[in-house]
């Protein structure tokens, strides 16, 4: 059959119309978690894990009967890690599904959607961002983060440094982005108050490759510890490789998004001893105090990233807030859900956080320092769980 | 030429709409635009606003690139100037939004003139690189002029207000964004009925010949840059009112590439091109998402599995258009219209 342009146009229009007409389906008493999830784009490595984490926890709760018989429904859209696409997903899901909770994929989205959250008043939101700016319950009343903000992450690292080497010289290397600059100013002040010397602050473009001049700067400063922030991988391997070639003795550290096991292992031999802050236990942690990890390993025998843990814990906190509201007979709106979330005290996450957690504001300022053991190919804890307040 | 549309005056020759039927269709389009918000939900209204903002900016770029032949990759940065202007005026002075939008356009136009100065010496790819440099400089200014732009954190602004009503939803913003965009597109359409617009086209077709004809190149090239940036500035201002958060990362280089792609896909050097191109580039990813969602009942976790495929399909569609329809979507539209001009006598 000859396919003419007109036939193609007709087929395309018919397909388009069929797609637009796809019906949504949600039971009236379902508790809905919506999500703008970056399944594609630069943040897809995390988005895929976050999606699996949220989905798995929702499945666990539903398999156990839901919340007083009410099922949890998880609906999401891919955003490609673009703010306008994230907002489109939010508008679409809020129009069709009336979510009670929402997972946002970036700081930009969290800030952009905040006025809409306040106007809507029915949604409690968390997300992939640990931006310090969002940790303000006055400015962001319907949001929280399932872990410490970036400033608190630096706080955990700096407290660890102070304990292991008082008066140490510290350097900060961060990307020239909102993400990269986030904790630098308050952390410089905190370092001074802890008696640590910040000897150098280096700014690079995100994902830069040639960092030879920056490494020379770092060498001149000769820090005992160098903390990277605002990167996922590049330029961290290049920095460490060149620094090792120059016989620098500095110990290198990272924050949450550069601390996934698979990311650190990509550093290869130069990554030996790389340290960083992590609010959750790693997938392979067999501590008997972490039964939830055993359950996760049972569901998914292959390694799950720290992004998975973040999604899983976020869903757990969503469900816990909903549970508390449902049990106390409160309406599920943003204000009540936030109130119920903030009522969580000494809550056991099944060992995902190493200590019982309390959600007093918009964050959970707890973390632990891990070190890479390249021979054993694992991240090994080198500190106890540290509170950054 | 259409049957039954004999032109007997120069005015008729220059008219935007040749026949009463065209005018009726245009009135129908305007009526549909007015009716749309009352029928669409928040999601479609949001997309309509986004498309309208992109149409405004793409139309501006089309004046510069499509009609004057000057390639620019600085459109997003000029939108940034507009967005920051609006945000600063709204936050610090609380001036009326229409004034802020005009100021956004004028300031962006001034920026455009500055960036356009090298255009007398460099053309084509070289000019594209010069405009990229300008966008990096502007990004640096946005990120580091902390006292005005609030640095990398950016500015969060209150909504525009009209007679005490806050324009804080897509429904309300629609009534600001779409009329402004319609005005801007009409302005662009009229521009090419004037000496200025025709001078732009002459410069695009052969700049030396244009100069021989008495068109001062620098003046007109800068005018084209100023107009294009004015459009970008106003579009940026609308963007700021729509999203209400402006950060240096809001206007990345890839956004300029998006607009360039939009006018190429839509059809450069036509008024319809940027409209169709911006709508295509904004809507196709969303329609593909709907398609993926539509498969959900049959493919478990379709969104997770098919999202990467979706981006490949989007890329393939763009390549397909460039290969099979280099004149852009506007040409397809023209072909469809031609078909109906003679229908049912010739099919």
The closest CB to that of A91, out of B42, B154, B248, belongs to B42
A12 reaches B (C-beta below 8 A): no
Looking at residue B184, what is its pLDDT?
A: 96
Residue A283 has pLDDT above 80, yes or no: yes
Looking at residue B9, what is its pLDDT?
A: 85
| Distance separating alpha carbons of residues A241 and B155, to the nearest angstrom | 38
Residue B211 parent element (H or E): helix B207-212
Using the beta-carbon criterion (under 8 Å), do B244 and A112 form an inter-chain contact? yes
Question: Do residue A160 and residue A274 come from a single domain?
Answer: yes
| Distance separating alpha carbons of residues A372 and A271, to the nearest angstrom | 7
- Is residue A317 in a domain? yes
The closest CB to that of A112, out of B151, B245, B248, belongs to B245
Looking at residue A170, what is its pLDDT?
A: 96
The answer to whether residues A76 and A154 touch, using CB atoms and an 8 Å cutoff, is no
Angstrom distances, CA of residue B35 to CA of A114, B23, B40, B48: 29, 18, 9, 13
Question: Do residue A268 and residue A309 come from a single domain?
Answer: no
Looking at residue B347, what is its pLDDT?
A: 57
| Distance separating alpha carbons of residues A220 and A171, to the nearest angstrom | 11
Residue A301, burial from CB neighbour count under 10 angstroms (0-12, 13-18, 19+): exposed
Average pLDDT over chain A, rounded to an integer: 90
Q: How far is B76 from chain A (nearest CA, A)?
A: 14
B232: closest CA among B56, B100, B67, B114? B56
Q: How many beta carbons lie within 10 A of that of residue A230, not counting itself? A: 24
Instruction: Give the SS3 label for residue B155.
Output: strand
Looking at residue A23, what is its pLDDT?
A: 44
| Distance separating alpha carbons of residues A47 and A109, to the nearest angstrom | 14
Looking at residue B288, what is its pLDDT?
A: 85
| Distance separating alpha carbons of residues A9 and A331, to the nearest angstrom | 49
Looking at residue B132, what is its pLDDT?
A: 92
Question: Do residue A272 and residue A311 come from a single domain?
Answer: no
Question: Do residue A43 and residue A129 come from a single domain?
Answer: yes
> How open is the CA angle B58-B189-B105, to the nearest 5 degrees?
50
Q: How many CB pairs under 8 A join A and B?
A: 89
| Distance separating alpha carbons of residues A236 and A252, to the nearest angstrom | 9
DSSP string, B120-140: GT--HHHHHHHHHHHHHHHHH
- Which residues in A lie closer than 8 A to residue B311 (C-beta atoms)? 40, 80
| A254: phi then psi, degrees, rounded to nearest 5 | -140, 175
The answer to whether residues A318 and A101 touch, using CB atoms and an 8 Å cutoff, is yes
For chain B, the residue count is: 347
Phi-psi group of A36: left, alpha or beta (phi > 0 → left; psi -120 to 50 → alpha; rest → beta):
beta
Mean pLDDT by 10 residues, chain B (347 residues): 73 82 91 95 93 97 94 94 96 94 97 88 87 92 92 89 89 95 96 94 93 92 95 97 91 92 92 94 87 78 76 85 87 86 72
| Distance separating alpha carbons of residues A102 and A8, to the nearest angstrom | 39
The answer to whether residues A285 and A308 touch, using CB atoms and an 8 Å cutoff, is no
DSSP string, A110-179: HHHHHHHHHHH-S-EEEES---GGG--TTT-TTB--SS--HHHHHHHHHHHHHHHSTT-EEEEEEESSHH
- Is residue A181 in a domain? yes
Q: How far is A147 from chain B (nearest CA, A)?
A: 21
The answer to whether residues B345 and B293 touch, using CB atoms and an 8 Å cutoff, is no
Using the beta-carbon criterion (under 8 Å), do B285 and A80 form an inter-chain contact? yes
Count each helix (H run) and each strand (E run) in chain B, helices first. 15, 4
Minimal Cα distance from A37: which residue of B?
Answer: B304
Residue A17 has pLDDT above 80, yes or no: no
The closest CB to that of A22, out of B170, B290, B301, belongs to B290
| Distance separating alpha carbons of residues A384 and A368, to the nearest angstrom | 6
Looking at residue A2, what is its pLDDT?
A: 46
B100: closest CA among B149, B108, B51? B108
| Distance separating alpha carbons of residues B115 and A384, to the nearest angstrom | 56
Question: Do residue A382 and residue A346 come from a single domain?
Answer: no
Question: Do residue A118 and residue A159 come from a single domain?
Answer: no
A97 reaches B (C-beta below 8 A): no
| Distance separating alpha carbons of residues A124 and A100, to the nearest angstrom | 6
Strands A386-387 and A366-373: antiparallel
Strands A251-254 and B155-156: unpaired
| Distance separating alpha carbons of residues A108 and A128, to the nearest angstrom | 11
Question: Do residue A113 and residue A69 come from a single domain?
Answer: yes
Interface-testing mutation among B243, B279, B295, with chain A (most A C-beta atoms within 10 A): B243
Strands A251-254 and A225-229: parallel
Any idea what DSSP says for residue A269? G
Strands A378-381 and A366-373: antiparallel
Q: How far is A234 from chain B (nearest CA, A)?
A: 19
Looking at residue B299, what is its pLDDT?
A: 77
B151 reaches A (C-beta below 8 A): yes
B79: closest CA among B134, B158, B18? B134
Residue in the structure block whose two tokens are 């939108």: B79
| Distance separating alpha carbons of residues A364 and A65, to the nearest angstrom | 28
CATH number at residue A203: 3.40.50.2300
The answer to whether residues B192 and B201 touch, using CB atoms and an 8 Å cutoff, is yes
Burial track B183-194 (b if 16+ CB lie within 10 A, e otherwise) = ebbeebbebbee
Q: What is the mean pLDDT of residues A359-371?
A: 92
B169 reaches A (C-beta below 8 A): yes
A261 reaches B (C-beta below 8 A): no
DSSP string, A167-214: T-EEEEEEESSHHHHTTHHHHHHHHHHTT-EEEEEEEE-TT-S--HHH
Question: Do residue A181 and residue A129 come from a single domain?
Answer: no
A218 or A11, higher pLDDT: A218
- Is residue A7 in a domain? no
Band (A5; pLDDT cuts 50, 70, 90): low
Q: How many beta carbons lie within 10 A of that of residue A98, not counting itself? A: 15
Band (A234; pLDDT cuts 50, 70, 90): confident
- Is residue A1 in a domain? no
Question: Do residue A177 and residue A261 come from a single domain?
Answer: yes
| B90: phi then psi, degrees, rounded to nearest 5 | -65, -45
Alpha-helical segments (H) within chain A: 5-20, 44-63, 83-96, 107-120, 150-164, 178-181, 184-193, 212-221, 236-245, 261-265, 291-299, 306-327, 334-342
Chain A 61-80, residues with CB within 8 Å of chain B CB atoms: 76-78, 80
The closest CB to that of A39, out of B45, B46, B307, belongs to B307
End-to-end CA distance of chain A: 71
Using the beta-carbon criterion (under 8 Å), do A19 and B290 form an inter-chain contact? yes
A157: closest CA among A145, A144, A172? A172
Question: Do residue A34 and residue A143 come from a single domain?
Answer: yes
A7 reaches B (C-beta below 8 A): no
Angstrom distances, CA of residue A90 to CA of A40, A287, A321: 17, 38, 21
> How open is the CA angle A264-A269-A274, to the nearest 5 degrees?
45
B190 Cβ neighbours under 8 A, 6+ residues apart? B16
Question: Do residue A46 and residue A133 come from a single domain?
Answer: yes
Residue A183 lies in domain: 152-278+367-387
Using the beta-carbon criterion (under 8 Å), do A78 and B303 form an inter-chain contact? yes
Any idea what DSSP says for residue B63? I
Any idea what DSSP says for residue B153? G
Q: Please give the torsion angle defined by the CA atoms of residues A292, A298, A301 and A305, in that order, rounded to the nearest 10 degrees.
A: -20
Q: How many beta carbons lie within 10 A of that of residue B123, not counting itself? A: 15
- Which residues in B lie closer than 8 A to residue A54 (C-beta atoms)? none
Chain B 300-339, residues with CB within 8 Å of chain A CB atoms: 301, 303-304, 307-308, 310-311
Using the beta-carbon criterion (under 8 Å), do B308 and A39 form an inter-chain contact? yes
Looking at residue B338, what is its pLDDT?
A: 82
- Is residue A330 in a domain? yes
Q: How far is B209 from chain A (nearest CA, A)?
A: 39
Looking at residue B33, what is its pLDDT?
A: 95
Question: Do residue A55 and residue A132 come from a single domain?
Answer: yes
Q: What is the pLDDT of residues A248-277, one digit of tens each?
A: 999 999 999 999 999 899 888 888 999 999
- Is residue A133 in a domain? yes
Q: Count of domains in chain A?
A: 2
Any idea what DSSP says for residue A41? S
- Which residues in B lie closer than 8 A to residue A55 (C-beta atoms)? 301
The answer to whether residues A129 and A83 touch, using CB atoms and an 8 Å cutoff, is no
């Amino acid at each position: 059959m000859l396919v003419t342009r007109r036939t193609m146009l007709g087929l395309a229009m018919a397909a388009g119309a069929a797609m637009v007409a796809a019906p949504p389906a949600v039971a009236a008493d379902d508790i809905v978690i919506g999500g703008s999830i970056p399944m594609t784009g630069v943040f897809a490595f995390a988005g895929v894990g976050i999606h699996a984490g949220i989905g798995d926890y929702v499945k666990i709760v539903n398999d156990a009967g839901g919340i007083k018989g009410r099922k949890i429904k998880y609906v999401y859209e891919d955003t490609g890690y673009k703010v306008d696409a994230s907002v489109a997903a939010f508008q679409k899901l809020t129009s069709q599904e009336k979510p009670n909770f929402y997972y946002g994929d970036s700081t930009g989205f969290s800030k952009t959607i905040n006025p809409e959250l306040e106007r809507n008043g029915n949604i409690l939101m968390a997300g992939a961002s640990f931006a310090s700016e969002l940790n303000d319950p006055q400015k962001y009343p319907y949001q929280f983060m399932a872990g410490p903000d970036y400033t608190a992450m630096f706080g955990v690292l700096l407290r660890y440094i102070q304990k292991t080497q008082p008066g140490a010289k510290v350097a900060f290397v961060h990307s020239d982005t909102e993400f990269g600059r986030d904790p630098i100013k308050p952390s410089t002040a905190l370092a001074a108050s802890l008696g640590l010397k910040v000897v150098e602050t280096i700014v690079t473009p995100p994902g830069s490759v040639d960092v030879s001049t920056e490494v020379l700067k770092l060498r001149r400063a000769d820090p005992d510890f160098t903390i990277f922030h605002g990167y996922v991988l590049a330029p961290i391997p290049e920095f460490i490789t060149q620094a090792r070639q120059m016989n620098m003795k500095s110990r290198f550290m990272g924050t949450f998004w550069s601390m996934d096991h698979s990311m650190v292992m990509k550093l290869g031999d130069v990554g030996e001893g790389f340290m960083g802050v992590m609010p959750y236990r790693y997938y392979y942690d067999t501590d008997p105090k972490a039964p939830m990890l055993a359950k996760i390993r049972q569901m998914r025998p292959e390694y799950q990233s720290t992004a998975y843990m973040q999604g899983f814990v976020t869903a757990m906190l969503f469900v816990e807030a909903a549970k508390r509201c449902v049990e106390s007979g409160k309406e599920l709106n943003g204000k009540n859900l936030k109130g119920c979330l903030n009522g969580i005290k000494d809550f056991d996450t099944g060992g995902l956080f190493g200590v019982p957690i309390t959600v007093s504001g918009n964050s959970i300022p707890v973390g632990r320092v891990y070190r890479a053991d390249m021979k054993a190919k694992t991240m090994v804890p080198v500190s106890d769980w540290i509170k950054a307040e | 030429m259409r049957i039954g549309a004999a032109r007997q005056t120069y005015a008729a020759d220059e008219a935007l709409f040749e026949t009463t039927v065209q005018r009726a269709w245009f009135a129908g389009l305007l009526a549909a635009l007015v009716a749309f918000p009352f029928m669409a939900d928040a999601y479609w209204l949001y997309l309509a606003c986004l498309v309208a903002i992109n149409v405004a900016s793409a139309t501006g770029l089309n004046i510069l690139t499509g009609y004057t032949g000057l390639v620019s990759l600085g459109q997003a940065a000029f939108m940034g100037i507009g967005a920051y202007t609006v945000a600063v005026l709204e936050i610090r002075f609380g001036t009326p939004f229409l004034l802020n939008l005009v100021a956004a356009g004028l300031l962006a136009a001034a920026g455009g003139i500055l960036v356009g100065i090298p255009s007398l010496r460099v053309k084509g790819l070289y000019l594209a690189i010069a405009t990229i440099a300008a966008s990096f400089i502007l990004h640096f200014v946005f990120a580091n002029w902390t006292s005005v732009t609030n640095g990398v954190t950016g500015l969060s602004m209150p909504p525009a207000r009209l007679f005490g009503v806050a324009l804080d939803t897509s429904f309300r913003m629609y009534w600001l964004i779409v009329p402004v965009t319609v005005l801007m597109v009409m302005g662009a359409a009229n521009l090419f009925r004037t000496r200025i617009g025709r001078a732009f086209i002459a410069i695009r077709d052969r700049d030396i010949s244009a100069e021989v004809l008495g068109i001062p190149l620098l003046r007109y090239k800068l005018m084209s840059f100023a107009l294009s940036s004015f459009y970008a500035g106003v579009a940026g201002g609308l963007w700021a009112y729509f999203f209400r958060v402006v950060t240096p990362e809001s206007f990345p280089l890839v956004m300029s590439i998006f607009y360039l792609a939009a006018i190429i896909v839509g059809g450069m050097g036509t008024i319809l091109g940027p409209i169709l191109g911006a709508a295509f580039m904004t809507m196709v990813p969303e329609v593909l998402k709907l398609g993926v969602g539509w498969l959900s009942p049959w493919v478990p976790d379709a969104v997770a599995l098919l999202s990467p495929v979706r981006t490949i399909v989007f890329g393939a569609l763009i390549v397909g258009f460039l290969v099979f329809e280099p004149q852009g979507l506007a040409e397809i539209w023209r072909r469809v219209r031609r078909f109906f001009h003679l229908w049912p006598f010739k099919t």
